[in-house]
Amino acid sequence: MYGIDMKITVKTLLDKGFSQRAISRELRISRVTVKKYLEEINTTGIQVPKIKKVKKLDKYKDSIEEWFQQGLTGILIQEKLLKEKSLKASYASVSRFLQQFKDPEVYIPLIAKPGEEGQVDFGYLGKFIKDGKTVKVWCFSMVLSHSRYSYHCLVTDQNVDSFIRCHIKSFEYFGAVPDTVKIDNLKAGVITPNFYEPTIQVQYADFLNYYNCAPITARIRRGQDKGKVESGVKYVKNNFLKRVEHKDYYLLEKDLLDWTTNTCNKRLHGTTKKVPEYMFFTSEKKQMQPLPEKRYELFTIEHRKVNAYGHISYKNNFYSVPYTFIGKKLIIKSNGVLLKIYNDAKEIALHNVCNRQGEFITVDEHAPLQKQKKTESMYREKISEIGNDANMFFEKVKKEKPKTWIQIIKGVLSLKKNYETKTINSACKRAIEFQIYEYSTVKNICKNGLYDKNKENLSVNNADGHYGELKKYDELFNNQTNKN
C-alpha cells in the first residue's frame, strides 16, 4: 500500500489517536516512513475523503418524491414501497427520508400587547433536601409576553393546588393580572389537549374567572406558541441553577427569589434588547388588571358518585344531595369548613363539614316529597285544607295522643285519595262528637256513610246500670264494617 492511499491511512490512524510507533507497527512500515508521510500531510494539507453512506431508500428517491408530491402520507408511502417495490422500511426511516422534500416552516413572531398575556410552564431542577428528605424539585415560571418580566418559584409536585398557588404568587408578585394565561398542555391545567375547545380543569377555570383572566392552551408540538416561557425556564436552568452549590430546598427558594428580582428581571433581554423590569413598570403594569380585594380561596376538588340513599361520601361521612341525582357523578369542592356539591357548574347542595365519622348529614328537602319529614306547621296546613272540623280534630288528637298524633294525621290525610274533603271533614266532626280520635274511626265513618246519620246513643249498659266507655263507638263501627 503506497502513495495517496497510504497517506490517507496514516492520516486516519493519526486522527484516531494512534502514535507514530503504533502506526508503524499497524501498517508494517518503518517509523521513518511514517514520519515522512506525516510531514507531507502537514505540508499539503491532505483531507481524508468522507464516505457517503448509501441509504436503502436512495434507490427509490424519484418514486418517493412523486408520491409525496401527490399528497401521500408517510404511512401510505411505506405501504406502497412494500407493495410495489417489495421493500420493507420502517415508518421512522420513511419519515426521515421525506424531510428533504419538505419546505422549512416559517414562524411568524407572536407580538403581545402590554398586559395581554402571561405564559406559564414547569422546568425540572433536580433533587434537593427538604425537611430531611430528598425530593424532586420543579421550577414554576410565569413570563409576561410583552415585557418579559417574570416570576419563578419552586414546587415539589405539579398538581392542581400547586399550579393555582403558583399563579396566585405570580399575580401578587406582579401586583396585577394579565388578560390571558397561556399554558402548556399540563395535566394540572388541561384535561383534553385541544387548542380550539380545551376542557380546562374545573378549579383552574374557576380560579382564573375569579381574577377575570382567561386560559389559552398552546398547540401540541408548537413550541413557538409558548417560546417566551420556555426560554425563561432555560434561563433559570442555565443562569440560576448553575450558580447553586448546595442542596437545601429552603435556601434554594430564597436564592431563586433574589435571583429573579435582582438578576433575571434587571438584565438586558437577549430578544427585546430591553430591561424587563423597566418595560414592566413603565408600560405594561398600568395596562394590566388590578388584583381583587381578597385572595382566591382554594378549595380541593374531587368527584363523587351519589349512592342509592341520595348521599355522597366525604372524609368518612355522608352528605345529602337532591334525590334526582342518585347514581350520577358530581363534583365536590371543600376548604375544610364548607362542602359544596356541583352538577357541572351549578351548585346543588351546601353543607358544613362534619368533624365526626360515620354520620349522615341530610337536608330533608333533598328527599322525595313523600319521604320528607313534615313539621307540625306543615301537618296543620295540610289538615286545614280539608276543613274547620278536620282542623279541630287535629288539635284534639295532638292533645289526647301526643306520642302518636303524626301517624293518625297521616292516615286522615291519606283518605283524600278516596274521599272528597267534605266527606272527611264531616267524618272528623262525627268522631269529635263521640270523643274518639283514631284514624280507623274516621276511615270507617267515611266508608260507611255514618257522617250523615243522626247522633245515636251508643253507650252500652253495664251490669251495674252505668253506661260503658265511649270507645265502644269505634268497635261498633268496626262491626258495622265487617257486616258490610
Instruction: Give me the percent of the chain exceeding a pLDDT of 70.
Output: 80
**475 falls within a domain:** yes
State the CATH number of the domain containing residue 270.
3.30.420.10
Q: How many CB atoms lie within 10 A of CB 413?
A: 19
| 422-444 confidence digits (pLDDT tens) | 999 999 999 998 888 999 999 99
Q: Are residues 268 and 331 in the same domain?
A: no
Q: Band of the pLDDT at 167, cuts 50, 70, 90? A: very high
Identify the band that residue 218 occupies on the pLDDT scale cut at 50, 70 and 90. low
Torsion angle defined by CA atoms of residues 30, 34, 39 and 42, in that order, rounded to the nearest 10 degrees: 180
Q: End of a domain among 318, 345, 370?
A: 370
Q: Is residue 278's pLDDT more than 60?
A: yes
Residue 442 in domain? yes
- Residue 43 confidence (pLDDT) above 60: yes
Q: Which amino acid is at 136?
A: K
pLDDT at 466 over 50: no
Q: What is the mean pLDDT of the chain?
A: 81
If asked whether residues 258 and 329 sit together in one domain, one would say: no
Same domain, 273 and 180: yes
Which of 417, 316, 323 is closest to 362 using CA atoms? 323
Q: For residues 130 and 270, state if they share a domain.
A: yes
Is 405 strand, coil or helix? helix
Assess if residue 199 is contained within a domain.
yes
The answer to whether position 107 is within a domain reads no
Least confident span in 57-71, 115-129, 303-317: 57-71
Is 222 within a domain?
Answer: yes
Are both 123 and 264 inside the same structural domain? yes
* Residue 419 sits in the same domain as residue 478: yes
Which pLDDT tens digit goes with each residue over 4-36?
567 777 777 777 778 888 888 888 888 888 888
Phi/psi at 411 (nearest 5 deg)? -65, -45
- Give the mean model confidence (pLDDT) for residues 230-259: 89
Residue 181, all three cell numbers: 394565561
| Residue 394 CA: distances (Å) to CA of 28, 420, 428 | 125, 18, 9
CA–CA gap between residue 314 and residue 302 (Å, rounded): 10
In the listed set 287, 322, 339, which residue is the last one of a domain according to the structure?
287
- pLDDT for 392 beyond 60: yes
Which of 95-109, 161-175, 298-312 is modeled with the greatest confidence?
A: 161-175
Residue 185, Cβ neighbours under 10 Å: how many?
17
Q: What is the pLDDT of residue 230?
A: 55
Mean pLDDT in residue range 71-82? 83
What is the 3-state composition of the chain as percent helix, strand, coil, each rounded to the nearest 5?
A: 45, 20, 35
- In the DSSP assignment, the letter for residue 461 is B
Give the whole-number percent of the chain exceeding pLDDT 90.
Answer: 37
Predicted local distance difference test score (pLDDT) of residue 195: 37
Q: Does residue 181 share a domain with residue 258?
A: yes
Is residue 246 domain-shared with residue 181, that is, in the same domain?
yes
Domain that holds residue 69: 58-101
**What pLDDT was estimated at residue 427?**
92
| Residue 456, in any domain of the structure | yes
Asked whether residue 240 is assigned to any structural domain, the reply reads yes
Distance CA 333, CA 340 (A): 5
d(CA 459, CA 439): 21
Rounded average pLDDT over 31-58: 71
Under DSSP, the state recorded for 469 is -
Within a domain: residue 262? Answer: yes
> Does pLDDT of 70 surpass 80?
yes
Question: Residue 411's closest CA among 427, 433, 435?
Answer: 427
Q: Are residues 128 and 145 in the same domain?
A: yes
Average pLDDT over residues 127-147: 93
The residue among 370, 394, 413 that closes a domain is 370
pLDDT > 50? residue 197 = no
User: Are 408 and 260 members of one domain?
Assistant: no
pLDDT band, very low/low/confident/very high, at 187 (cuts 50, 70, 90): low
Q: How many structural domains compose the chain?
A: 5
Residue 225 CB neighbour total at 10 angstroms: 20
Q: Please report, for residues 99, 106, 223, 387, the alpha-carbon distance to residue 103 in angstroms, rounded to integers and kept in the order given.
A: 8, 9, 18, 90
Q: Are residue 19 and residue 72 in the same domain, yes or no?
A: no
User: Do residues 416 and 452 make contact, with C-beta atoms less than 8 angstroms apart?
Assistant: no
Residues in the chain, how many?
Answer: 484
| CA dist., res. 420 & res. 422, Å (int) | 5
Average pLDDT for residues 261-282, to the nearest whole number?
90
Are residues 229 and 323 located together in one domain of the fold? no
